[in-house]
Chains A and B, each alone.
Chain A
């Protein structure tokens, strides 16, 4: 179902998720707009990955609802996923396929015409510097190489919503710069990025808005300036993050 009334790419409404007695995410409501890069921060075990898994449809909320581009992820999952790309912190690649075969598979899964696929792939090969090993079996790749292939697979179909868990782990500085540029271009073209990270400098440099989750509660959300105001700190995002999570511990 598409309401078409607002420009929200991701909507979480009163979402709750528990693992047995452990409450992972508590009554989370959040809207991320089209063209926005949203950084999702939080200490280890705060509920970031659980939230991401609910957005991409890997977990079902115990309560509440999640929709992507107007499509409820539960009832209209295939339509929502057609507009979505997900890069997990530990991505899966078929180890007996070459990088190119894997990317072709993903392209076909998203029904990208061959000409468009080749055009897009050539750009990504150049930007991510993956040409040298693209025709080798992925089992021989280092962590960074795999991360590049997975990023290329995610960007190949130019998704409306890109959900990423720790995007820069294992990447060399040159690729980090490329990925930052790709993200900026993606949002400038109307795409949405929901990014979970512990690298606060990246969030500080790229994010339009930042959300901080702590022990399952969304304790702060807003622009960097708004968060600084909330934390009564004028320094870096690191200070703001530590201040807000510490206050909530007390």
Chain B
């Protein structure tokens, strides 16, 4: 019996935990290069494309701003301030969600906790992992902006300077997220996900309402108005907020004041390190109790006693035959029991509703010739793109998620391809409710003429049809049956194909409606649209419905033959 175990020191264990991640990552990359080189190349190409596109866009903005000294002097620090304050909030919540899943979840954490490794090492390695996972958005969006800024200033040293600020900033929201996740596990273990979601939604709504209430647009955008607006926005420039240290540091570097900039970099770095130390120490010291509370609270919530075919979930799909109704009702129930799904839909459309209800504060003359169709068209664009985001993220993985239940679906007394129609009915129900609701609110707020209102609503329904058809059909044609992780399914080859197809469909449909809008721009607000405009909109609707049907058919044919 090897009783005299010599325990490695803590640093050794931490190195080992990091090394095993490195090995898993290198195996993953080697596997991707060996098995799917085209997919890997396509992913790298798309990332490069996004980077180049963003770089070009930001470069254009900064060049434009540099031509107008007043706006550049005032606006650039504010742009950075807004960018980093938004990143601070987003990354903190993103980290909190990832940390909660990884540190208090049911996979690796319990395995590590049974090994002779100190909680400090487990928390440290998970913290570093989450920083890397949650910071990709900052890298993806932020670096092209920084490089564009550096290129505009023609000082190569800025590249390194900006990178330094980025790296120093990332741990601050990370540490806040770690503390939030720990507090939720420790104090709200029973409804952890719900608590984080509600907290995030409330915080977001409060911030947006506060911002919208502070912005009252005048009749003209003068320099006086700009100064007043910037003065109202000054709360994001508080000296105590990390976003201000980064923004001020970058601004000072741009003005050649490197000493001051270094000072801000030092402040950012010192605070990042201190916060990380504090968060990791606090969480690791009280980790076992938090883990115990999270584990004990998991899955012990309220009793749910609903008949499979009954209850509201069953009534919604009254028009479907019983077997399909059962499947659709099951999906609807799962949707409402998963806060991640309904909360994202609520946030996306909540923001849209907030914007729509605040439109009167714009004080624009919507009934004026040339304007009355432009804003509704933009609203339609917003609704369509949000819908595409939702269907790609949540509807597309539905079929893949059934992969491990095909033993059941495969032996049910119905054609397997028909399962897709239940998925389609479910996704249409959810998306129609929110999209038609939002568009109805939009046309009502704008007092849009009845014919144009009807056109916008019909186009919205057609886009719902097309996008749901794409997500379900392509989801069945290019599934990932071995995967349970929704995010991974949505970001795989099928998910990327679906995203590109959905964006292309939305662009096509909106082009038709956009042309009709352009043709009617000089009509009076209550004029009936001409034949060409109606024809264009009808063609857009037909394209969307036909594309949805074709994708569904393709998916159903493949799904009925698939072997798992």
A residues at B contact (CB < 8 Å): 17-20, 22, 53, 56-60, 74, 77-79, 81-86, 88, 91-92, 94, 96-98, 101, 105-106, 108-112, 116, 137, 157-158, 160, 189-191
Contact = CB atoms under 8 A, between A and B. Distances in A.
Nearest to A158: B2
B300 A22 contact: yes
B27 A96 contact: yes
B227 interface: no
Contacts of A91: 111
B116 A82 contact: yes
B289 interface: yes
A58 B295 contact: yes
Contacts of B28: 96
B113 A19 contact: no
B27 A83 contact: no
Contacts of B563: none
Interface string B370-401: 00000000000000000000000000000000
Nearest to A191: B1
Contacts of A157: 2, 5
A59 B295 contact: yes
A160 B108 CA distance: 23
B436 to A, nearest CB: 41
Contact of B20 (A53, A81, A94): A94
A17 B292 CA distance: 11
Given A78-B7, A190-B1, 9 more contacts: A20-B190, A59-B292, A77-B288, A81-B117, A83-B3, A92-B111, A105-B20, A108-B16, A109-B117
Interface string B99-128: 000000001101101111110000000000
B539 interface: no
24 contacts: A20-B190, A57-B114, A58-B110, A58-B292, A59-B295, A78-B116, A83-B5, A92-B107, A92-B108, A92-B111, A94-B24, A96-B24, A97-B23, A98-B27, A101-B23, A105-B20, A108-B8, A109-B116, A110-B116, A111-B5, A116-B2, A137-B27, A158-B2, A160-B3
B415 interface: no
A147 to B, nearest CB: 15
B291 interface: yes
B418 interface: no
Contacts of A86: 114
A109 B113 contact: no
B73 interface: no
Contacts of B13: 109
B339 interface: no
Contacts of A137: 27, 31
Closest A-B pairs by Cβ, 9 of them: A82-B116, A96-B24, A92-B111, A86-B114, A60-B292, A81-B116, A96-B27, A82-B5, A158-B2
Contacts of A105: 16, 20
B492 interface: no
A98 B27 CA distance: 9
A80 to B, nearest CB: 8
A74 B27 CA distance: 36
B296 A59 contact: yes
A41 to B, nearest CB: 22
A81 B23 contact: no
Nearest to A60: B292
A contacts with B: majority SS? loop
A48 to B, nearest CB: 16
Contacts of A82: 5, 7, 116
Nearest to B108: A92
Nearest to A34: B1
B6 interface: yes
B410 interface: no
B297 interface: yes
Interface in B101-159: 107-108, 110-111, 113-118
Contact of B300 (A20, A96, A110): A20
A86 B116 CA distance: 12
Nearest to B288: A60
Contacts of B3: 83, 160
A111 B6 contact: yes
B114 A56 contact: yes
Contacts of B31: 96, 137
Contact of B117 (A60, A78, A94): A78
Interface string B78-114: 0000000000000000000000000000011011011
B114 A78 contact: no
A227 B455 CA distance: 79
Given A111-B5, A111-B7, A137-B31, A19 B110 contact: no
Nearest to B116: A82
Interface in B9-29: 13, 16, 20, 23-25, 27-28
A20 to B, nearest CB: 5
Contacts of B300: 19-20, 22
Contacts of A94: 20, 24, 108
Nearest to A154: B114
Contacts of B16: 105, 108-109
Interface in B287-306: 288-289, 291-292, 295-297, 300
A91 B114 CA distance: 12
B368 to A, nearest CB: 60
Which of B6, B28, B292 has the most chain A CB atoms inside 10 A of its CB? B292
